[in-house]
Amino acid sequence: MARTKVFTLLLLGALVVVASCGQVDMTNSVRWTIVKPEVVHRINSDNEVGVPTADIGIYYPSNLDHAFTDQFSLNDLIDDFVQAKSIFADAGVQLNLLWIKTGEIDPSFFEIQANNIAATAPGGQYANMYVDSRRRQSGLTQEALDAFESIVEKHDNNNRTVFLVVLQDVFMSFYEKQDERTWEVRTITTGGLSFPSYSYQQIPRRLRGVITINKSDPLRSIVAHELGHKLINVSHEYNDIDPQHEVRAEGGLMLYGSGTDIPASKRGRWHRERLHLSPYIYRQTASGARSWNTDYKEGGHYYDPIYGDKVIQFGDIEADTEK
């Protein structure tokens, strides 16, 4: 009997060990290596003390499929970042590239579904997009959360840093109205996805700066556009164009087109003012001390108190186009 008990205990112990070994902790599992430090130095060479600044880190996995890297190389991403730096400089904000890192990630993360809308209803018909986004907040899928936990390293300023993460395909789903009674779920692959706070208010704080990038375009505007979502915290809108899931037009950075304008004033939907209020922005003194903007007070929805009156209420633009 004693032998049976001992054997049983040993067997249970073995099972515990096996189960423990089978649970892979994906958190910070990627071994990242800094590359191209001379390029980072060159890109940052014109940064100035005292100018509003946003820190950006680049993660470009080293084991992506060759068919993908042939279409979107690390050098392509660097060129896109340089273009974004110029666009934001025109609006009075400098982008500071912290580092460029490569390393092998779990191949199951090459393609992910970003959001889970299975448990949510379509948007309401009586409120604008931002009010509705606050009522029906987007959430990450478990695979997206696992991927970002694995990729993004822990450091003191996680929640104040923007991370450009290259993956091969990132899918996003949303409801699209077909007629007065019918809505259908539409799933698209994204060129970039910014997980903006006006929609993703429940994302873990240390991961809230993640932006996925998986393509370039002839205008090299995708990185700048996605940074606009993150830093200005608005959807696709510009002047008298109300926010929508997709808007193809010219003029503004936040439209799908060739525009790069980050407009100011109420007529410009306060884009430049909201940019300068972003919690990702700081000013640094000559001694290296940083003064950060105020963090979100209510999770970062479009009407978060940090923006004060730099918001657009439903119908305001139509009633106030002369200002």
pLDDT digit of tens for each residue in the chain (323 aa)? 444 333 333 233 333 333 333 333 444 589 999 999 999 999 999 999 999 999 999 999 999 999 999 999 999 999 999 999 999 999 999 999 999 999 999 999 999 999 988 767 887 778 888 998 898 888 899 999 999 999 999 999 999 999 999 999 999 998 888 988 898 988 999 999 999 999 998 899 999 999 999 999 988 999 999 999 999 999 999 999 999 878 888 899 999 999 999 999 999 999 999 999 999 999 999 999 999 999 999 999 999 999 999 999 875 544 344 44
pLDDT on residue 28: 53
pLDDT on residue 121: 80
CB atoms within 10 A of CB 245: 14
pLDDT on residue 23: 37
- Distances in Å between the alpha carbon of 217 and those of 77, 80, 121, 199, 299? 10, 9, 34, 25, 32
Q: 21 lies in a domain?
A: no
Q: 18 lies in a domain?
A: no
Q: Is 300 left (phi over 0), alpha (psi -120 to 50) or beta?
A: left
Q: 289 lies in a domain?
A: yes
Nearest CA to 190 among 209, 212, 160, 164? 212
Phi, psi for 67 (deg, rounded to 5): -60, -30
pLDDT on residue 193: 97
| Inter-residue contact 232 to 278 (CB < 8 Å) | yes
Q: 7 lies in a domain?
A: no
Q: 3 lies in a domain?
A: no
Q: 110 lies in a domain?
A: yes
Nearest CA to 228 among 178, 188, 189, 268? 268
DSSP 261: B
- DSSP of 210-250, one letter per residue? EEEE----TT--HHHHHHHHHHH---EEETTEEEES--B-S
Q: CA angle at residue 26 from 107 to 98, to 5 degrees?
A: 85
Please give the residue range of the domain that contains residue 141.
27-319
pLDDT on residue 151: 98
| Inter-residue contact 251 to 115 (CB < 8 Å) | no
pLDDT on residue 3: 40
Q: 116 lies in a domain?
A: yes
- Report the domain count for the chain: 1
Q: 144 lies in a domain?
A: yes
Q: How many CA atoms lie within 13 A of 24 on its CB side?
A: 9
Tokens 């931002």 belong to which residue?
Answer: 130
Nearest CA to 232 among 73, 87, 22? 87
CA distance 259 to 257: 6
Q: Which residues contact 90 (CB under 8 A, 6 or more apart)?
A: 260, 262
pLDDT on residue 14: 36
CA distance 94 to 231: 12
| Inter-residue contact 86 to 221 (CB < 8 Å) | no
Tokens 């300068």 belong to which residue?
Answer: 276
